[in-house]
Amino acid sequence: MLALTLTFLVIDVYYFTWVLSLKGKLPPDQACFVSDAILGYTKKMSRELMHNLDNGTRSKVEAAKNRFRQKKDNQRIQENESKEEAKKQAQDASN
């Protein structure tokens, strides 16, 4: 267990040093956004990229985001409905 923990710690340290080295290779105006995105802070990069797009492209991006959200919501609804149906069938079978 200790060996596994140390292995993951080494992997984490390597990843962090890789991000820092990548940050050093990029121009300063891009380095902070890219390193933040690699570390999981994508909101900042998304916001900055949206400012660089023209209005027509922005609306297309927003429409695509909305379609994606709707698809995810529909999948969640279907999963919940199937779980409820399975529960009802299990209750009917036990009665």
| pLDDT computed for residue 86 by the predictor | 87
36 or 60: which leads in pLDDT: 60
The CA distance from 52 to 23, in Å, is 21
Nearest C-alpha neighbor of 33 from the set 24, 42, 22:
42
| pLDDT computed for residue 22 by the predictor | 79
The CA distance from 33 to 43, in Å, is 10
- Its pTM stands at 0.43
Which range is least confidently modeled, 20-24, 62-66, 82-86?
Answer: 20-24
Q: How confident is the model at residue 67 (pLDDT cuts 50, 70, 90)?
A: very high
67 or 35: which leads in pLDDT: 67
| pLDDT computed for residue 3 by the predictor | 93
